[in-house]
Amino acid sequence: MSETSMNNNIFYSNNNNYINETLTDLEKDTLGEIGNICMGTSATTLSTLLGKRVNITTPRVSTCRGTEYLDEYERPIVTTEVSYIQGVEGTNVFLIKKEDALAITEVLVGSDTDLEELYLSAISEVMNQMVGSSSTSLADLLHVSVNISPPVVREVTRDTQINSDGELLIKTSFRLEIEDLLQSNIVQIMPFEFGKKLVQTLIGEEAKPEEPAVPEPKVQKAQEPPTSRMPKANEKEVKRMQNEEKVDLKEVKFESFDSNGSEFFMNHPELSKNIDLIIDVPLHVTVVLGKTRKSIKEILDLNRGSIIVLDRLAGEMVDVLVNGKLFAKGEVVVIDDNYGVRITEITSEQIKDN
């Protein structure tokens, strides 16, 4: 059973260890910066999904206990719980208003859909992608591999029973702005211990309260002789010597690689051995027939027999990518029962890269 001493702000746990239940300015700044970076990536992901400018700014870090963080919200609200299972261990809970979730869902699937039936599934997918990109940023920040479990999304109403043991929590509030749609808040809740561990992992040692700076003793600096005492004749001599020093600059000449590969290696047989070392390295070749962009609603409406119209005309040349890089263009042919591509053009991008 836990015991709390309110006088000295010390929280006693079951194993008789104790932690300071207040956050220092350094810890607040560090947690705010972690949240700023991770939510910045999430904002980019949400902006891509909605096709609107999204801004998530101004993190405010504080502490609370139990379900106190729900007091500032008028229910129903939507919560998303995320568990970190690799790299760091802990949980995060994100809160947004239900009306904000409905507005985001309407942009994704359209207003002619029953939003009440669909919005939890839509928000679950949105938060899955946002938290996924956020965990990638966290992994880069902490220099560890971070994995998460699938987010759990649910609606919390006045009648929802929430079990709470009065655990000490860290609350980080962000300002959420979506172009021409809404201006609201999104709140991140994490256990106090988890937040402390994040800070320690990032700064390499436990954050300590700031101590007053001790003034350094003043050290009398040796006075350097003024340059004006140099004799005038010596100054003129130095300037004359500096003017006489000339640097012979020559233009750097590089070997031309404009000739074709066979001629080049015929003229440089010593390099053929080097190319033999990598000649068998496999490359991934992809042929792009065409692309298109559709909303989540349009994807959900697809079924067997549906036709997707691409952005390329019939008979138009297709792109040939090598390791994801545009290499050539060609036309589709059929060889026996297989498709093939007849190369008709090596792209200028490929020539520049060579």
108-153 pLDDT, tens per residue?
888 777 788 788 888 888 888 898 888 888 888 888 888 888 889 9
Query: Half-sphere exposure of residue 73, counting CA atoms within 13 Å on the CB side?
Result: 25
Structure token pair of residue 73: 């919200």
CATH number for the domain that contains residue 325: 2.30.330.10
163 in the same domain as 69: yes
Q: Which of 203, 226, 244 is the last residue of a domain?
A: 203
| The residue type at 283 | L
d(CA 130, CA 128): 6
* Structural domain for 288, as ranges: 267-353
Are 76 and 177 found together in one domain? yes
Cα–Cα dist 166/5, whole Å: 14
CA 304/CA 211 separation, integer angstroms:
69
How does pLDDT run across 82-92, given as a tens digit for each residue? 998 888 888 99
Q: Quick one: pLDDT at residue 269?
A: 61
Burial class (CB in 10 A: 0-12, 13-18, 19+), 240: exposed
282 lies in some domain: yes
Do residues 162 and 154 make contact, with C-beta atoms less than 8 angstroms apart?
no
Domain holding 182: CATH number?
3.40.1550.10
Total Cβ atoms within 10 A of residue 123:
24
Same domain? For 19 and 93 the reply is: yes
Residue 333, SS3? strand
Q: What is the pTM of this model?
A: 0.54
Residues 275 and 170 in one domain: no
CB atoms within 10 A of CB 126: 23
Q: Is residue 26 part of a domain?
A: yes
Instruction: In whole angstroms, give the CA distance from residue 80 to residue 148.
Output: 13
- Label residue 263 by pLDDT band (50, 70, 90): low
Considering the domain architecture, whether residues 149 and 49 belong to the same structural domain is answered as yes
Domain end: 203, 225, 259, which one?
203
Q: Does residue 325 lie within any of the structural domains?
A: yes
DSSP-derived secondary structure letter, 229: G
Of 203, 230, 250, the position where a domain reaches its end is 203
- 8 and 157 co-located in one domain: yes
Q: Classify residue 127 as exposed, middle or buried by CB count within 10 Å of its CB (0-12, 13-18, 19+).
A: buried
- Same domain membership, residue 115 and residue 199: yes
Q: Rounded to an integer, what distance in angstroms lies between the CA atom of residue 262 and that of residue 327?
A: 19
Report if residue 224 sits inside a domain: no
pLDDT digits (tens, 9 = 90+) for 19-49: 457 888 888 988 988 888 888 889 998 998 8
3-state SS, residue 307: coil
Q: Which residues partner with 92 through β-bridges?
A: 82
- Take residue 78 and report the two structure tokens written for it: 């939507």
Average pLDDT, the chain: 76
CA atoms within 13 A on the CB side of 261: 4
Nearest in space to 350 (alpha carbons), one of 311, 314, 321: 321
Q: What is the DSSP string of 14-59?
A: TTS-EEE-S--HHHHHHHHHHHHHHHHHHHHHHHHHHTS-EEEEEE
User: Is 192 found in the same domain as 90?
Assistant: yes
Q: What is the pLDDT of residues 288-325, one digit of tens each?
A: 888 888 888 888 888 888 888 888 887 788 999 888 88
Amino acid occupying residue 8 = N
Q: How confident is the model at residue 234 (pLDDT cuts 50, 70, 90)?
A: low
Structural domain includes residue 231: no
Same domain for 284 and 198?
A: no
- The SS3 call for residue 349 is helix
| Domain contains 241 | no
Give the mean pLDDT of 179-185: 91
CA distances from 197 to 2, 32, 80 (A): 21, 14, 22
What is the tally of structural domains in the chain?
Answer: 2
Would residue 79 count as lying in a domain?
yes
**Domain identity same for 19 and 133:** yes
Using a 10 angstrom Cβ sphere, with 0-12 exposed, 13-18 middle and 19 or more buried, the burial of residue 99 is middle
Q: Does the pLDDT of residue 285 top 60, yes or no?
A: yes
Position 179 in a domain: yes
